[in-house]
Structure 1
Amino acid sequence: MTEHIDVRTGVYYDSVTLLRITQAARSAPGVTAAQVAMATELNLDLARGMGFEVPADVTTNDLLITLRGDDQGAIDAGIAALEGALADAAAAGRAAGGLGSGPAPRTVRGAAASHPDAPLALLSVPGQYVLGEAMDAIAAGRHVMIFSDNVPIDDELAIKRAAAQAGVLVMGPDCGTAIVGGVGLGFANVLGEYDGQSVGVIAASGTGAQHVTALLDDAKVDVSHVLGLGGRDLSEQVGGMSALQALQLLGDDPQTDRILVISKPPHPATADKVRAAADQIGKPVTYVLLGPGQPTITDGVGAVLDDLGIAVPAWRTWNEAAASSAPGALRGLYSGGTLADEAMLVASGVLGDIRSNIPLSPELALPADATAAGTPDLTGLGNVVVDLGDDEFTAGRPHPMIDPTVRLDLLAAQAADPEVSVILLDVVLGHSAEADPAARLAPAIADALASAGRPLSVVVALCGTDGDPQGRDRQADALAAAGAAVYTSNAEAAQVAANLAAGRTLEGARA
């Protein structure tokens, strides 16, 4: 093995860009490990944990590049790949700045000054720096989308109070999905434009928003905007400040005829506040607030279609006959937290308790030693659903919607576990997601089924649209050809997977 360590002083890229650069380096032939990240203490610990000897004088203002490969040729290939990705990122930054070959603005204040007509600022900086940049954007009269996570709650409160006073919307922190006037920001699907009433979506959930809009698009329903809130907005402490602003904006928007609100369970007092505000805007509002006994995302979309007088379609499936009944454990390997929550809510109605790193109740949390190594060890834990996009699994490495390496390793481990009879996966398409998920996942599924040596089913919930750059039908066909049963409804996929694990036939599994 050959290693390469490089420290570049005074160079900064946001976390999303660095994830893509890391992915480019890891994809080079012969590269076995790679990390391109700002030299924060967390990332330094990760590099050390990967076995690299980090220079003692590195600082948080430095870019740390670590590569390991089979030989020097692999290292050279990795360096070439990351240099190309760095060059692409620099070119994109110059283009976004609208300044030709000149430097792009380095602060929100500078960007606002050079783009006086831009109504929205998108922030993707380390969480501890968000407060100042967000306040500058608000002072400039801009709406703000905060992609960054790890923002202190007190900073979020200060930002949202300032935004409320200024009459602008803050989406986030930790807001990964939005669509504003047809333009996707972060992880977003490509939606069509359709005649008839338009639905505006308010979402305290990234993959939940994507699933809602993908199903609406399947039913040929127009979506005007998707306004993200961040995962804490509907908590008691934040009190729905962004939700109230979003309701007002969509209520005043002539392109929005009705509104759908999707969230994990909000605090009851905050939910009451949001409902009271919604009652005053004069437009129909549908709520999908996931929780025990509450409608699924698919049910919520069906309710909107019913109100519009549109027949609820039979949500598409591929290769459903591949799903075979065999009593055993269900293992859900999810990249989307809300989709994982919904899968647990549905499956627990069939299988009972389901353990998770994001459990429905505290006593169902995975034991500490199951996640200590950074990749879950689910051996002997029975029915489990894991959110591999949770912070504990993405610290210092790409989100599984961008790089599926961790999930592919976990898929192989579940196939080798004789306790497991059904593996349930989500695949989320759209902008910013992996360019061709099936290219790596389909062979991994085929290998898992071939090597299991026992009845094993793989069920996939595919979240995407016909317009997505990955090609939804092409992805579905490849996954189905590998032996997976593919569903466009996550709730239906979870229902089938749970019933199969309970030993029911496919006909009974649909119930």
Structure 2
Amino acid sequence: MAPARPGQQRGAAAAQAAARNEKGGPTLIQTRVKENFYQDSVKLMRIASSIRNMEGVEEASVSMATPTNLELLERIGILTPEAQAASPDDILIVVRAASEEQCHAALEAAETAICGGGERVALEEDGDTFQAPKSLERALDYMPEANIALISVPGKYAFSLADQALDLGVNPMIFSDNVSVEEERTLKKKAAEKGLIVMGPDCGTCNLDGACLGFGNQVRRGPIGIVGAAGTGIQELACLIHQSGGGISHAIGTGGRDLSRDIGGISMLQGLECLARDESTQVILLLSKPADPAVADHILERARQVAKPVIVCFLGGKRRPDEGNLQFADTMDLAADLALRHTGRTLTAPESAQTDSIVEGKHIRALYTGGSLAYEALYLFREAGVAPLFSNIHMDGAAELDDPMRPHDHTVLDLGDDVFTVGRAHPMINPELRNDMIVAQAAEADTAVLLLDFVLGYGCHPDPVGAALPALEKAFALRPDGRLRILAHVCGADSDPQDLCVQEEKLLRAGVQTFRSNADMVRAAIRMLHG
């Protein structure tokens, strides 16, 4: 894509801001609008994070000009008339810096990152290139054997593209959110009629035949197949299995609403059928947060008919007794262990960890980047009778926080929730907010234990622990009495780009206790609380 032509780009003039920079001088805000220009939000947020680190830049935003993003600009004090005049189909680049030169440099860097490259795509290792296709039909001309389309566009466009993919005989994986329930149901019914499957919407993780789509870990191939309505839950299962010497045949994401009454588990049923037929899959693992009871019964009835062992882990629900080929688990480490045992392996035993009792009246604060991991933690705390218990996750037995930015008592936070990600990348990509909260919660005198997760793999931050080390150092410095415990679980594999062993070693050197699984970490915190 070429840079905006004259007439397509507005608002390069500076607007004087009321704020003043650190040296007491005036702060400038400049805006650039790229009309009718779309880029994936994750890419835009990465660009914004990069230019914030440029010299003299105090604040920056690179985003689509949606009403939600305009509200964010207003909250952080950089909403300009040019931004207000933009349409939701435009890209906004807004920079606040100490000088006009620094504003201009940041704007130019952002536009180069948005527009630079990508017009031609490498086709073969010999260097041949072709013009990047601008439609699904054209993409299939280049890749006629393709049978999956990864869709990551604003939600209002996702339905149309997924529908086109189905008409072309291609299975859509919809990374996008903000697709309505009615649209999701329509797509999934159509896919079922065509013998296809819709993965999503809001499907962040799939591993199909060894290929990671969205967030995913580099785990070995093997005989265990997963169908999951929980993205980081799929990652946790796959990594626990990998670390114990096992492997994954396929991991099929369904989207988080699939097991609701409105959708009826359409994609999970199709994923179950796929793995039941797949010769490379010997054991099937079904993963979800609590399902609608009638939908769960329907899925279990079909699972009973499969001629393979089926492990069922519906997080947050009551564990059922095993029956026939079905085995039930209420935590992901137990589910992984049950699956491994069918292949002649067991889950690697956790190392013993220090579990000193915490001072009476002190609290646990769990700051999660992975939603499924947060949900599992909340469930375990509830079952252990930890109270008073608060969260931004809905679960019976846990009270809702009035302000998620101000945790109190025992709190489990899912920092990937929409309230934390408006205008910023998911915390698995951009950990700045979580790092700030580590320091803030360490400064609270009633915080005795901090629980943290670090998720590795494709699409995640290239060094999440390294990015957190300054915050961890500050946290311990705030509590020189040594009464703050920080526990961490790294969800990843040794073969991931970030390297599980390297990340864990950094945590250990920083004084943080590490745990093999999320559930192990939570159990250790409960032991600290109960003595």
- Name which of 484, 491, 509 aligns with 1:481: 509
Matched-pair contact (CA < 8 Å) for 1:24–1:85: no
- Say if 2:344 is the partner of 1:309: yes
Give the corresponding residue for 1:31. Answer: 57
CA contact (8 A) 1:199 1:258 kept: yes
User: Which protein has the bigger helix share?
Assistant: 1
CA distance in 2, matches of 1:87, 1:479: 38
CA deviation vs aligned residue, 1:97-142 (integer Å, no higher than 9, x gap): 8896654222334323443211100100111111111110000000
Distance 1:323 1:67 in 2: 48
Report the CA distance shift for 1:39/1:323 in structure 2 as closer, same or farther (over 3 A). farther
Aligned partner of 1:451 in structure 2 is 478
CA distance in 2, matches of 1:149, 1:453: 44
Q: Distance in 1 between matches of 2:380 and 2:28?
A: 47
The equivalent residue for 1:343 is 377
Whole-angstrom CA distance in 2 between matches of 1:470 and 1:59? 38
**1:260 counterpart SS class:** strand
Q: Does residue 454 of structure 2 align to residue 430 of structure 1?
A: no
Instruction: Give the TM-score taking structure 2 as reference length.
Output: 0.87
**CA displacement at 1:316 relative to structure 2:** 5.6
> Which of the pair has more CA radius of gyration?
2
Distance 2:247 2:292 in 1: 30
Letter in 2 for 1:205: A
Which residue is equivalent to 2:46? 20
* Match in the other structure for 2:69: 43
Alignment counterpart, residue 261 of structure 1, candidates 276, 286, 291:
286
1:408-464 CA deviation, whole Å, 9 max, x = no partner? Answer: 111111011111111111110000000111222122112101112441111111100
Q: Do the aligned residues in 1 keep the contact of 2:232 with 2:373 (CA within 8 Å)?
A: yes
Residues 448 and 308 from structure 1, CA distance in 2 versus in 1: closer, same or farther, beyond 3 angstroms? same
Q: Structure 1 residues 363 and 472, CA, compared in 2 at 3 Å: closer, same or farther?
A: closer
Q: Report the secondary structure of 1:442's partner residue.
A: helix
Aligned position for 2:218: 190
Equivalences for residues 96-107 of structure 1 within 5 A: 103-107=131-135
Is residue 391–residue 398 contact of structure 2 (8 Å, CA) maintained in 1?
Answer: no
Query: Partners of 2:170 and 2:468 in 1: how far apart?
Result: 40
Q: Distance in 2 between matches of 1:73 and 1:440?
A: 29
User: Cα–Cα, structure 1 residues 54 and 178, in superposed 2: closer, same or farther, change >3 Å?
Assistant: farther
Aligned partner of 1:123: which letter? I
Query: Is structure 2 residue 274 aligned with structure 1 residue 245?
Result: no
The answer to whether the aligner puts 1:165 opposite 2:193 as a matched pair is yes
Q: CA deviation at 1:253?
A: 1.4
**Structure 2 SS opposite 1:422:** strand
Q: Cα distance, 1:47 vs. partner?
A: 1.4
Q: In structure 1, the residue corresponding to 2:389 is in which secondary structure?
A: coil
- Structure 1 counterpart of 2:94, from 58, 66, 75: 66
State the alpha-carbon separation in 2 of the partners of residues 34 and 339 from structure 1.
Answer: 31
Match of 2:332 in 1: 297
1:199 aligns with 2:224: yes
CA distance in 1, matches of 2:103, 2:525: 42
Structure 1 residues 9-18 or 68-77, which shifts more? 68-77
Q: Give, in whole Å, the separation in 2 of the partners of 1:100 and 1:30.
A: 41
Q: Which AA in structure 1 matches 2:406?
A: D
> Paired residue for 2:417?
390
Q: Partner of 2:19 in structure 1?
A: none
* Cα distance in 2 between the residues matched to 1:97 and 1:38: 30
Opposite residue 312 of structure 1, the aligned amino acid is L
SS in 1 for 2:391: coil
State which drifts further: 469-478 or 93-102: 93-102
State the structure with bigger RCO (CA 8 A, min sep 6), 1 or 2: 1
* More deviation, 308-317/165-174: 308-317
Q: What is the correspondence of 1:128-167 to structure 2 with a 5 Å cutoff?
A: 128-167=156-195
C-alpha distance in 2 between matches for 1:5 and 1:102 = 34
Name the stretch that deviates more: 129-138 or 270-279: 270-279
Q: What secondary structure sits across from 1:287 in the alignment?
A: strand
1:233 match: secondary structure: coil
SS at match of 2:342: helix
**Secondary structure class of the residue paired with 2:85:** coil
Partner SS, residue 221 of structure 1 = coil
Equivalent pair of 2:369/2:415 in contact (CA under 8 Å): yes
Residue identity matched to 1:415: A
SS at match of 1:427: strand
What CA distance in whole angstroms lies between the structure 1 residues aligned with 2:489 and 2:194? 41
Partner of 1:356: 391
Alignment partners' CA distance in 1, 2:441 and 2:427: 17
Match of 1:508 in 2: none
Deviates more, 1:102-111 or 1:408-417: 102-111
* Partner in structure 2 of residue 377 of structure 1: 406
- TM-score w.r.t. length of structure 1: 0.90
- Mapped contact 2:155–2:176 kept (Cα < 8 A): yes
Secondary structure of the residue that 2:32 maps to in structure 1? strand
CA distance in 2, matches of 1:397, 1:362: 31
SS of corresponding position for 2:249: strand
Larger deviation: 131-140 or 26-35?
Answer: 26-35
1:214 maps to 239
List per-residue Cα deviations over 1:185-214 (Å, max 9, x = no partner): 1110111246xxx10110100000000000
Deviation at 1:5? 1.4
Tell me the residue number matched to 1:325.
358
Which of 162-171 and 434-443 deviates more? Answer: 434-443
Query: d(CA) in 1 for partners of 2:515 and 2:523?
Result: 11
Unaligned runs of 5+ in 2: 1-26, 320-329
Contact 1:459 1:485 in 2 (8 A): yes
Q: What SS class does the counterpart of residue 144 from structure 2 fall into?
A: coil
**Cα offset for 1:248?**
1.4
- Secondary structure at the aligned position of 2:29 is classed as strand
Q: Which amino acid aligns with 1:355?
A: F
CA deviation after TM superposition for structure 1 residue 278, in Å: 1.9
The 10-residue stretch of structure 1 (349-358 or 179-188) with the greater mean CA deviation from structure 2: 349-358
Contact 2:122 2:129 in 1 (8 A): no
In 2, the alpha carbon distance for the partners of 1:100 and 1:37 equals 33
Amino acid at match of 2:359: A
Q: Distance in 2 between matches of 1:498 and 1:73?
A: 54
Which ranges of structure 1 fall in alignment gaps of 5 or more residues? 505-511
1:341 corresponds to which letter in structure 2? Y
What code does the residue aligned with 1:339 have? L
**CA–CA separation in structure 2 for the residues paired with 1:305 and 1:114:** 40
Contact kept? 2:63, 2:423, Cα under 8 Å = yes
The range that moved more, 170-179 or 34-43, is 34-43
Counterpart for residue 8 of structure 2: none
Structure 1 residues 68 and 315, CA gap change in structure 2 (3 angstroms)? farther
1:275 matched to 2:309? The reply is no
| Aligned counterparts of 2:333 and 2:33: Cα–Cα separation in 1 | 48
CA distance in 2, matches of 1:9, 1:219: 51
User: Quick one: which of 121, 140, 143 aligns to 1:112?
Assistant: 140
Distance 1:432 1:102, change over 3 A: same
For 1:313, what is the secondary structure of its paired residue?
A: coil
On the 8 A contact 1:14/1:125 being kept in 2, the answer is yes
CA 1:97–1:39: 2 relative to 1, 3 Å: farther
C-alpha distance 8-87 of structure 1, shift in aligned 2 (>3 A): closer
1:285 to 310, 325, 346: 310
- Whether the 8 Å contact between 1:200 and 1:225 is mirrored in structure 2 is yes
8 A Cα contact 2:47 2:110, kept in partner: yes
SS in 1 for 2:392: coil
Structure 1 match to 2:260: 235
